A and B are shown apart, each in its own frame.
Chain A
């Protein structure tokens, strides 16, 4: 590690510290304000925090301190997001690559694609309730229906915009179709695929909550409905904060994977700019 690397990592740590400082200050101000108001609608962060602890994180050590409420509601929700995204990746990436490499078919199907992605999926959820009945199937179907579009369209774009020189090079070196796909087309499309995944992830959180709000017997959205019906504001706020944390952590994980998988992309961009 040389001096420059040290300076870079010091600057990064400083930025990180500053970000947390801003967050902590905001929470502190909220605490002071909420304590002075004593409003039932805006409980102080300390009350929200203790509610979160009580609801989800006061379980036995053998269950990683998770309560049965947590395993009964948070885990199913996470499972739906991951299952939905998994299906979308397995379907969307190969389909997107295939379409991206066949411009004629894509041009033909374009009206369909544009129409499909224009449907606000939340409004299609009642259709899924009718199709799948209430439960995980319907929720996963909603997540899939909403997240397939950003991933599919980005993958199509990525596969279609592979530099023709790179394809020609692969042909000149007599790579087979499969080798061209795995060593040229897929890596080249990867930055766009990840852009699609990031969109899909944020949409999946929204759709997970929404589909659980309208039809579910467990999950984070279900817990929200109950709290709302019982006028239990601390729990509602606790769920909101939990969703924020979940979104942040899932994004951070995706960002970490992307950082490793696309290290070349950042490097190449820095070197050419």
Chain B
């Protein structure tokens, strides 16, 4: 269980502070996949960095499985927004993936073996000896995912992970994430600015307001699992939900015949979290 309570984060010094996030509260059940959408600059990356323990909140707190997050928690996987900069060009793909195991696993052979298994899980069995810059963007993104999965995380944070790959690769990667979640029951927070993606992968979609980021809406996405790029996107529920998220992101009011409680800034609509989607 991940609990974020009244999280506020300002950048800059007291006099010229710039508020990036304001009073964000959310709860994420184990094994849940929550999409976070919002316009560029609304504080999505800031939210993830606070949850990861990389950035101390200005006020409010993050609690993961009962423990307040004050520094980077164990068994956390992170996929950063800019994969081409977060993979190390001087390390082979295998050593990049093995890097997070430095802290927990003794011996290079063991780490390399774990890295190979993680690479196999994302469909990159043969790329281990190559260097990141020898791979396509989509493959590099898979490496970043394999690296985040290598330490067997319970919580996976992904910041616009598929922002700069082509449409086909993007769909493949979305399905990869859904498969990994189904297999391992990892809790996932996925930040995106792509509305279709947020609805397609999420059990819930959280919409943030333009900066300072606040929760505008918290919608359940009760679409059947397993999801499918073609049939799921044809479902009336999908079409309805994506229009709704789209309106919320643009700041327009909801469509009238809507049975979801209307969200407001101080009491965000909280849809019931689906029970353990990872187990289904």
Contact = CB atoms under 8 A, between A and B. Distances in A.
Given A165-B80, A171-B54, A172-B78, A268 B103 contact: no
A169 interface: yes
12 contacts: A165-B80, A166-B86, A166-B88, A168-B86, A172-B76, A172-B78, A173-B100, A173-B103, A175-B102, A184-B88, A264-B89, A267-B133
Given A172-B54, A173-B103, A165 B78 contact: no
Nearest to B86: A169
Contact of B90 (A163, A168, A172, A187): A187
B133 A168 contact: no
A166 B99 contact: no
Nearest to A173: B100
B151 interface: yes
A2 interface: no
Contacts of A264: 89-90, 131, 133
A4 interface: no
A100 B199 CA distance: 45
B229 interface: no
A126 B108 CA distance: 53
Given A174-B72, A188-B90, 19 more contacts: A163-B85, A166-B85, A166-B86, A168-B54, A168-B80, A169-B86, A171-B72, A172-B54, A172-B76, A173-B78, A173-B102, A173-B151, A174-B103, A175-B102, A183-B88, A183-B102, A184-B88, A267-B133, A271-B133
Interface in B76-98: 76, 78, 80, 82, 85-86, 88-91
Interface string B153-182: 000000000000000000000000000000
Given A171-B72, A264-B90, A165 B82 contact: yes
Interface residues of B, number: 24
Contacts of A179: 102-103
Interface of A: 163, 165-166, 168-176, 179, 183-184, 187-188, 190, 264-265, 267-268, 271-272
B250 to A, nearest CB: 30
B85 A173 contact: no
Interface of B: 49, 52, 54, 72, 74, 76, 78, 80, 82, 85-86, 88-91, 99-100, 102-103, 131, 133-134, 147, 151
A179 B88 CA distance: 14
A184 B91 CA distance: 10
B106 to A, nearest CB: 14
Nearest to A164: B85
Contacts of B134: 267, 271
Given A173-B99, A175-B102, A176-B103, A265 B89 contact: yes
A125 to B, nearest CB: 39
A190 B76 CA distance: 30
B97 to A, nearest CB: 11
A85 to B, nearest CB: 24
A81 B54 CA distance: 45
Given A171-B72, A264-B131, A165 B100 contact: no
A187 B133 CA distance: 16
A89 to B, nearest CB: 19
Contacts of A183: 88, 91, 99, 102
A79 B78 CA distance: 50
A80 B72 CA distance: 48
Given A172-B78, A174-B103, A176-B103, A165 B131 contact: no
Contacts of B133: 264, 267-268, 271-272
A264 B127 CA distance: 16
Contacts of B82: 165
A166 B90 CA distance: 12
A190 B102 CA distance: 22
A172 B52 contact: yes
A184 B250 CA distance: 41
Contacts of B103: 173-176, 179
Contacts of B49: 168
